[in-house]
Structure formats: C-alpha cells, structure tokens
Amino acid sequence: MTKLLIVIASVRPGRVGESVANWFVPIAEADERFEVEVADLKELDLPFMDEPNMPGRREYTKEHTKKWSAIVDRADAFVFVTPEYNATPAPALKNAIDYLYHEWSYKPCSFVSYGGVWAGARAVQALKPTLTQLSVMPVPEMVPIPGVSGLLDDQGNLQGTEIHEKSAGGMLNSLEKWSGALKTLRQ
Ligand SMILES: Cc1cc2nc3c(=O)[nH]c(=O)nc-3n(C[C@H](O)[C@H](O)[C@H](O)COP(=O)(O)O)c2cc1C
C-alpha cells in the first residue's frame, strides 16, 4: 500500500480548502492502493519556521517540528490541496515545507489546486522549485479546479464534476507508479 499524505494548505477562517479536501479525500480513500492520512496545516498550527538548526541535520528542538517530521516521514507520496494567493502559494504551505528536509526526499507529489480562472496553477508552478530542491517529484497529472466558488453548494460543499474525478483518477495512478519507483531510491 502507498501511504498518501494529503496536506490542506489554507489556514484562513472561512477557507474553501477544507471543502476541496472533503471532496478529494474520499476519492483517495476509496482507492485501495492507498492508505490515506490528512494533515491540516490549520490544525497543525506551525509557527513561522523557528528551528535554530538546518532542517537537513534533523536536530529538531520543538515538539511541533517533531510531530510534523513524523507525519511527513511516514508518507510515500503527497497531494497538496492548495489555493494561490497573488499568484503564489499560501504562505503556510511554503513554511511547512521549509521545516523539513530528508522527510520529503525521493517521494512523488501532486496537487488539487483551486481558485478563479487560474485554478491555483501559478501556485503549483511556483512550488515546484522548492519541491524539486527537496527531491520531491511533482508528477504532471493533477486536479486543477477553476471557478471553485461556483462549484460550492448551499452548504459550502464542493460538487466536483466528472472531469475533476477523472483527473483525480489519473493523478492517483501516476502517484502510485512514481511512488513504487522512488521507493527503490530511499532504500
Ligand atoms: C490573499 C489572497 C490572494 C488571492 N489571490 C488569488 C490569485 O492570485 N489567483 C486566484 O485565482 N485567486 C486568488 N484569490 C482568491 C482565492 O482563489 C479564493 O479566495 C480561494 O477561496 C482561496 O482559498 P482558501 O479559501 O482555501 O484560502 C486570493 C485570495 C486571497 C485571500
């Protein structure tokens, strides 16, 4: 089984990110190839990076870092549920990524991105240099959701369409393949 960590990037009160994750998480959970864990950065509540040592040394001094390190370490693959803020990633996500180093390495990732016409795609592109610096492989298949506010029902639940579900299936197939290949590099 591939251990898939789904990270909810937005920490804003009233965020749409939780609804987007609530749509995607059951799709991933229904796929028997994956064991799914969700990390909500709002719940984790990491402060701005406050470790005195370089993350690559893994000499963590704070309990919140040790907890985050264990979560990322046990994952084989990542899906970031991410909006874009001014054409770049939500700062809580960049901060959470920067906290760690080896825990990310040689694992694939993808994105359920959302927003207006841009569908969060610029945030995804902006995240890639950071992720590849950490030896995370962003797979090409992803789920971009443009016009996200128009897909929310009266209760604020995201009503994904067939094209979103197909994209999610393609993304999961790719993550599973890459995860198997990259495991050999982590041995
Ligand atoms: C600070 C800020 C900047 C934003 N910048 C963009 C943007 O560059 N592109 C875009 O498509 N939407 C942008 N939006 C609109 C977001 O797509 C929309 O508010 C979305 O719901 C944000 O995700 P969240 O609710 O999960 O935080 C921005 C929203 C905020 C709060």
Pocket lining: 184 vs ligand 1, CB cutoff 6 Å: no
> Residue 89 phi/psi, 5° resolution?
-70, 160
Query: The CATH number of the domain where 17 resides is what?
Result: 3.40.50.360
pLDDT value at residue 103: 98
* Nearest-CA residue for atom 12 of ligand 1: 115
Name the residue range of residue 116's domain: 2-186
Residue that has been written with the tokens 């080896």 in this structure: 102
Ligand 1, residue 83: give the atom nearest the CA. Answer: 23
Ligand 1, residue 17: give the atom nearest the CA. Answer: 26
CA–CA dist 73, 54 (Å, integer): 17
pLDDT value at residue 35: 98
* Selection from 52, 53, 30, 39 nearest residue 10 by Cα: 39
Pocket lining: 87 vs ligand 1, CB cutoff 6 Å: yes
Which neighbouring-strand residues pair with 146? none
Q: How many domains does the chain have?
A: 1
Give the model confidence (pLDDT) of 16-58 as tens digits: 999 999 999 999 999 999 999 999 999 999 999 999 999 999 9
Other Cβ atoms less than 10 A from the Cβ of 92: the count is: 22
Q: Which of 7, 85, 86 to mutate to test the pocket of ligand 1 (most atoms within 8 A of CB)?
A: 85
The CA–CA distances, whole Å, from 158 to 88, 103, 114, 155, 171 equal: 23, 31, 11, 9, 19
Mark the ranges of the chain whose per-residue pLDDT is less than 70.
none
CA–CA dist 115, 129 (Å, integer): 21
> Residue 63 phi/psi, 5° resolution?
-60, -40
Distance 90 CA to ligand 1 centre (A): 9
Ramachandran sector of residue 19 (left: φ over 0; alpha: ψ -120 to 50; beta: rest)? alpha
Which residues contact residue 94 at a Cβ distance below 8 angstroms, ignoring those fewer than 6 apart? 127, 130
